């Protein structure tokens, strides 16, 4: 059949039985005429978009989805089912392959905007901009259930999988600020290429966040657009495993392999992934086995390196035609009806293409974080910003100092730490010889008292690499935890301090994504020691240092 599921590696009988009941049956899905009409319409939009753009811009790079067009109806089925399960916000990350199609048909970026970018029109608002297949988008779109959903596709560089942590961090932050404690109302969806999913180390780093309390998103849905090639590299040279998705077995995620040429099977698997996430709140992976009809980009010649493969691809009937033949043979639709549907979609694309010639691009269309009221780079170049007082009331500082240098009655800390806490209390009392950790605690506490959320994450940050911070205390008899800065008093903002996994690239990406959501917070990441931060250099270069210049994406990450 068109679906193959790997789940026997999951050490949980309930979860295995849940999957078995849904796939190991003679006919796991049967769609009504109305449902097939919706799937067909979505497939027509996906197929028509690629053909239309190819006809209008034959020499332009677009990294098209030809060979994997069923991704679009699949993703829309995933979104619809997730919304039925109570999801209100979906944060997505994906590479270049098929990105314009997803922007158009899933996130609903206006056709006029996309076509104008092909024509070289771009917003000029004091930033450099980026290629069209790197830009993101925010949009609130309706769904068949009548409930709206907010979609956000994050901007990303050419560096494959670099945005994975950013997506997870942004999702986790939305869950925090919306008080989504069960992590059911916001969902992270990550799209991958087969070569990158198997080859990029940050994939494993971010998969490992799944069950970490300070990093979990309540289950991320991964979609691997598996066109069975990485640029010019065959799978046998790209990985040492049978499947590109084998890395996901490390977190006991089910893997749903599906033939992308079977449009209804693709639709079902995406619905199944949404159901899994709703039921178990853990990651799952869809392996969309497809092909890449053209080269890595449309100007490339793939037959230089894969001659046999591309002879087969050139003889392959497109999934769209296969699905139409299926629907006509089973009597669901007549050929004339389908041709009318295709004609209607093409005419809409033509109308929007005509409008694109006079289209005025707006940068805010693709901004994936909105920090209203902040000066643009151009304004900052010519204006002097006002200064504001940053001090705190002495009585407030004494209260904070007392809190961070004391423990609750009966809470037994290590004897050496007791001496450190006593010395800390003395520096607060005298106002002299205040060390870095104490000053940091006072600064955090003053922000928390003003209602500003503070999040500190990184390797060993709870104690501090040099045994200096002690933000989280451990009872020596019971191992219970006590975090002084969570106990400043009524009305304080949330304080989050958490040791990360031993990751830099993925962890810094996560904190960057977290910082995008709310400018009125302090988000900090700390590497353990010395130059360890250079393992996250991609995030520093491609997002932190240049994100505002490329995408007007602001961050307060410290």
Look at residues 133, 116, 203 and name the one whose alpha carbon lies nearest to residue 168. Answer: 203
Average pLDDT over residues 8-15: 98
Residue 46 per-residue DSSP state: H
Does position 464 have pLDDT exceeding 90, yes or no?
A: yes
User: Of 49, 95, 110, 104, which Cα lies nearest the Cα of 76?
Assistant: 104
Q: How far apart are CA 517 and CA 511, in angstroms?
A: 11
Q: Are 283 and 221 in contact (CB under 8 A)?
A: yes
**Would you say the C-alpha torsion 91, 97, 100, 102 has a positive or negative sign?**
negative
Q: Parallel, antiparallel, or unpaired for β 521-526 and 137-141?
A: unpaired
| pLDDT of residue 447 exceeding 80 | yes
**Which domains are seen in the chain, by residue range?**
3-358 (3.40.50.970), 394-551 (3.40.50.12470)
pLDDT of residue 237: 97
Chain mean pLDDT for the chain: 94
Decide if pLDDT at 365 tops 80: no
Q: What percent of the chain has pLDDT over 90?
A: 85
Q: Is the pLDDT of residue 184 over 70?
A: yes
Express each pLDDT in 78-88 by its tens digit.
Answer: 999 999 999 99
Could you give phi then psi for residue 473, rounded to 5 degrees? -105, 150
Q: In what order do the strands lie in the sheet with 137-141?
A: 3-6, 255-259, 284-289, 220-226, 186-193, 89-93, 149-153, 137-141
Q: Provide the whole-model pTM.
A: 0.96
8 A C-beta contact, residue 482 and residue 407: yes
CA nearest neighbour of 496 among 219, 169, 93: 169
171 burial level (CB within 10 Å; 0-12, 13-18, 19+): buried
By CB neighbour count within 10 A (0-12 exposed, 13-18 middle, 19+ buried), where does 311 fall?
Answer: exposed
3-class SS string, 492-531: CCCEEEEECCCCCHHHHHHHHHHHCCCCCEEEEEECCCCC
Q: Which residues contact 529 (CB under 8 A, 6 or more apart)?
A: 465
pLDDT band at residue 368 using 50, 70 and 90 as cut-offs:
low
- Residues 127-177 pLDDT 10s: 566 777 778 888 899 999 999 999 999 999 999 999 999 999 999 999 999
What's the whole-number mean pLDDT along residues 86-101?
Answer: 97
Which of 149, 187, 193 lies closest to 167, judged by CA? 187
Supply the pLDDT for residue 552: 80
User: Three-state DSSP class for 25?
Assistant: coil
Question: In this predicted structure, what is the pLDDT of residue 131?
Answer: 76
DSSP helix/strand/coil, 292: coil
DSSP for 398-455, written as a single string? HHHHHHHT---TT----HHHHHHHHHHHHHHHHT-S--HHHHHHHHHHHHHHTT-EEE
State residue 468's pLDDT score.
Answer: 94
Contacts of 86 (CB under 8 A, 6+ apart): 184, 185, 278
Instruction: Write down the pLDDT at residue 129.
Output: 67
First-last CA distance in the chain: 51
Closest CA to 323 of 22, 107, 38: 38
In angstroms, the CA 446 to CA 477 distance is 32
Does the pLDDT value for residue 376 go beyond 90? no
- The three state secondary structure string of 189-242 is EEEEEHHHHHHCHHHHHHHCCCCCCCCCCCCEEEEEEECCCECCECHHHHCCCC
Dihedral (CA of 340, 341, 343, 348) sign: positive
pLDDT, tens digit (0-9, with 9 covering 90-100), for 237-292:
999 999 999 999 999 999 999 999 999 999 999 999 999 999 999 999 999 999 99
| Amino acid 551: pLDDT | 83
Q: Band of the pLDDT at 125, cuts 50, 70, 90? A: low
Per-residue pLDDT tens over the stretch 287-333: 999 999 999 988 899 999 999 999 999 999 999 999 999 999 999 99
Residue with tokens 């992976």: 285
Choose the weakest-confidence range: 34-38, 214-218, 267-271, 517-521. Answer: 517-521
Helix ranges restricted to H, 57-180: 71-84, 99-105, 111-118, 164-177
Asked whether 507 and 514 are in contact (CB, 8 A), the reply is: no
Residue 419 pLDDT exceeds 90: yes
Residue 369: pLDDT above 70? no
List Cα–Cα distances, 503 to 303, 446, 468, in angstroms: 39, 30, 21
């Amino acid at each position: 059949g068109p679906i193959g599921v790997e789940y026997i590696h999951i050490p949980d009988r309930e979860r295995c039985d849940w999957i078995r009941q849904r796939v190991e049956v003679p006919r796991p899905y049967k769609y009504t005429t109305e449902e097939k009409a919706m799937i067909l319409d979505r497939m027509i939009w996906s197929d028509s978009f690629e053909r239309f753009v190819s006809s209008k811009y034959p020499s332009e790079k677009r990294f098209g989805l030809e060979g994997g067009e069923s991704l679009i109806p699949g993703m829309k089925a995933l979104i619809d089912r997730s919304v039925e399960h109570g999801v209100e916000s979906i944060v997505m990350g994906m590479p270049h392959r098929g990105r314009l199609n997803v922007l158009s048909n899933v996130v609903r970026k206006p056709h006029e905007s996309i076509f104008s970018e092909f024509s070289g029109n771009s917003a000029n608002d004091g930033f450099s901009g980026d290629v069209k297949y790197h830009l993101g988008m925010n949009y609130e779109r309706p769904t068949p259930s009548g409930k709206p959903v907010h979609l956000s596709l994050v901007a990303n560089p050419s560096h494959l999988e670099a945005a994975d942590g950013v997506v997870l961090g942004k999702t986790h932050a939305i869950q925090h600020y919306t008080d989504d404690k069960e992590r059911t109302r916001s969902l992270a969806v990550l799209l991958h290429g087969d070569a990158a999913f198997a080859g990029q180390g940050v994939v494993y780093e971010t998969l490992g966040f799944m069950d970490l309390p300070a990093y979990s998103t309540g289950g991320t849905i991964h979609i691997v657009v598996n066109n069975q090639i990485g640029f010019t590299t065959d799978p046998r040279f790209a990985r040492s495993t049978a499947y590109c998705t084998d890395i996901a077995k490390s977190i006991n995620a089910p893997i749903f392999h599906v033939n992308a040429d079977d449009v209804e099977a693709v639709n079902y698997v995406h619905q199944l992934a949404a159901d899994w996430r709703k039921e178990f709140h853990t990651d799952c992976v869809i392996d969309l086995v497809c092909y890449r009809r053209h080269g890595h980009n449309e100007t490339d010649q793939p037959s230089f390196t894969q001659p046999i493969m591309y002879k087969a691809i050139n003889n392959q009937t497109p999934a769209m035609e296969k699905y139409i033949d299926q629907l006509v043979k089973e009597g669901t639709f007549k050929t004339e009806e389908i041709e009318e549907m295709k004609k209607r979609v093409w005419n809409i694309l033509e109308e929007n293409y005509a409008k694109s010639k006079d289209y005025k691009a707006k940068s805010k269309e693709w901004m994936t974080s909105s920090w209203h009221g902040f000066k643009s780079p151009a304004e900052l170049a010519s204006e002097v910003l006002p200064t504001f007082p940053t001090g705190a009331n002495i009585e407030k500082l004494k209260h904070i100092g007392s809190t961070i240098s004391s423990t609750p009655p009966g809470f037994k800390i290590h004897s050496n730490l007791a001496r450190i806490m006593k010395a800390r209390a003395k520096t607060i009392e005298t106002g002299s010889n205040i060390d870095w950790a104490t000053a940091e605690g006072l600064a955090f506490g003053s922000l928390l008292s003003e209602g500003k959320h503070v999040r500190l994450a990184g390797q060993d940050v709870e104690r501090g690499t040099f045994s200096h911070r002690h933000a989280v205390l451990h009872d020596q008899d019971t191992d219970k935890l006590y975090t002084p800065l969570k106990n400043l008093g009524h009305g304080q903002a949330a304080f989050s301090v958490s040791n990360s996994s031993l990751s830099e690239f993925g962890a810094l990406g996560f904190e960057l994504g977290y910082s995008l959501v709310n400018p009125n917070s302090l988000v900090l990441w700390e590497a353990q020691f010395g130059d360890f931060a250079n393992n996250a250099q991609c995030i520093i270069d491609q997002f932190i240092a240049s994100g505002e210049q490329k995408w007007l994406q602001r961050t307060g990450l410290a």
